[in-house]
Amino acid sequence: MERVDFMTNESGDDLIVSFALSQGEPGEIRSLILLRTPKYEFLLDESERGVSFSDEAHWEEGDWLRSIDFSREIVRIETQHHEYTLDVSGVEACELKQAERILRKMNFDDAFILRIV
């Protein structure tokens, strides 16, 4: 399980939920980023629609979110290539609540499995 220090969430043309994970050195951060742009998605090929996922440690192109289990303590993410278990217990409640709202917006078409506990 990896510990999340903080999150960055955006809700505009781009819908973004980003988890910042501490790495070995002080101040060294690794980001896990969920991104969807519904406004322009209709222009994309069917295979390029949905929530893209990026991890600075694994830069596979075309990694897509399959499911996310989201609670106030633990977040489990499954993509096409990886699975993550994140400890979000240290993240501020308002950041978690904002992430929940954005994840619901991202899943307007049931593109992935979303479980919020």
Q: What is the pLDDT of residues 53-107, one digit of tens each?
A: 999 877 666 689 999 999 999 999 999 989 999 999 999 999 999 999 999 999 9
- Quick one: pLDDT at residue 61? 66
The 10 Å Cβ neighbour count of residue 27 is: 6
What pLDDT score does 22 carry? 82
CA neighbor of 58 nearest in space, from 88, 85, 83: 83
Residue 25: pLDDT above 80? Answer: no
Structure tokens that stand for 39 in this block: 């406004």
What's the Rg (C-alpha) of the chain? 14
Q: Which domain, by its residues, includes 15?
A: 2-116
Total structural domains within the chain: 1
